[in-house]
A = this chain, B = another copy of it.
C-alpha cells in the first residue's frame, strides 16, 4: 500500500473518532457515562437534552465505538466502550484547563461562587482514611454510587443531604466527592455541611478519575 494512501485513510479514521467527541453535549454524556451505565432517560434527566436529541448523540458515539448499549426491558443502558474513552476525555480536559484562559476563568468564577476553595488530593485522602480520621461521603445520585464508588465511602445523595445531617459525626472530618472537577455536587455539599458546623472538605478528584488511577473501589 502506498504511504500517502495509508496515511489518508488512517488519519481519517482517527479524525472520525475525534469528531464523535467534538461536541459539548457528547462530552457531557461521556462524563456522565464514566460514572456508570445509564439509560437514555437518566442521561436526559442529567443534561439539558431532549430524548430524541440525546438518543441521536448516543448513536453518534456508538457508531464511533466510544459507547455501547444493552437493552434491558424497556430501557437501553449505555456505557463507555472502554476506560480508555474516559482517559482520552480526561487528558483533553486537562489540556483545556492548562491552555484555555476562558476555561480557567470559568472555573475560578465557579469555585468562588461556591465560597469554597479548600480541597483534598487523592493521596491526602488515602492517608487520612488509613488513620481513621476521615469519613468519606459520596454525594452522587444513588444509582451512580451503586454502580461503583470509592472504597469505604458512604452514600448520601446531594438532594437528601439536608435531611440526613443528623446521621453525620461532628468530630470527624468529612470528605465529600462527586463526579469530577466539573461537578457542583461536592461543592454544594461541603458548603451545606460547613454551614451546619461540620468539618468538611471537597475531594479534588471524582469517582472516575479515582477509578482510572487504579485506586481502591467498591461496588
Q: Which residues of A contact B (CB under 8 A)?
A: 1, 3-4, 6-15, 17-19, 21-28, 48, 65-66, 81-82, 84-85, 87-88, 91-96, 98-100, 102-103, 106-107, 109-110, 113, 182, 184
Assess A98 versus B110: contact at CB under 8 Å? Given A11-B24, A11-B27: no
Q: Mind listing 12 A-B residue pairs with CB under 8 Å?
A: A1-B109, A10-B107, A14-B96, A14-B103, A15-B22, A15-B26, A18-B23, A21-B22, A66-B99, A84-B95, A88-B92, A91-B91
Docked-complex contact A84 and B94, CB < 8 angstroms: yes
A152 to chain B, nearest CB (A): 28
A178 to chain B, nearest CB (A): 12
Which of B3, B65, B92, B184 sits near A14, CB closer than 8 Å?
B92
Which residues of the other chain, B, contact A88 by a CB distance below 8 angstroms? Answer: 88, 91-92, 95
Docked-complex contact B22 and A22, CB < 8 angstroms: yes
Docked-complex contact B18 and A92, CB < 8 angstroms: yes
Docked-complex contact B98 and A182, CB < 8 angstroms: no
Assess A13 versus B94: contact at CB under 8 Å? Given A18-B21, A48-B4, A113-B1: no
Complex: A88 Cα to B94 Cα, angstroms: 9
Which residues of the other chain, B, contact A106 by a CB distance below 8 angstroms? Answer: 6, 9-10, 13
Which residues of the other chain, B, contact A182 by a CB distance below 8 angstroms? Answer: 7, 10-11
A51 to chain B, nearest CB (A): 18
Which of B3, B13, B18 sits near A102, CB closer than 8 Å?
B13
Docked-complex contact A7 and B28, CB < 8 angstroms: yes
Assess A18 versus B7: contact at CB under 8 Å? Given A88-B92, A94-B84: no
Complex: A87 Cα to B99 Cα, angstroms: 13
A12 to chain B, nearest CB (A): 5
Q: Which 6 pairs from chain A and chain B are nearest by CB?
A: A11-B24, A22-B22, A15-B24, A18-B22, A19-B22, A65-B99
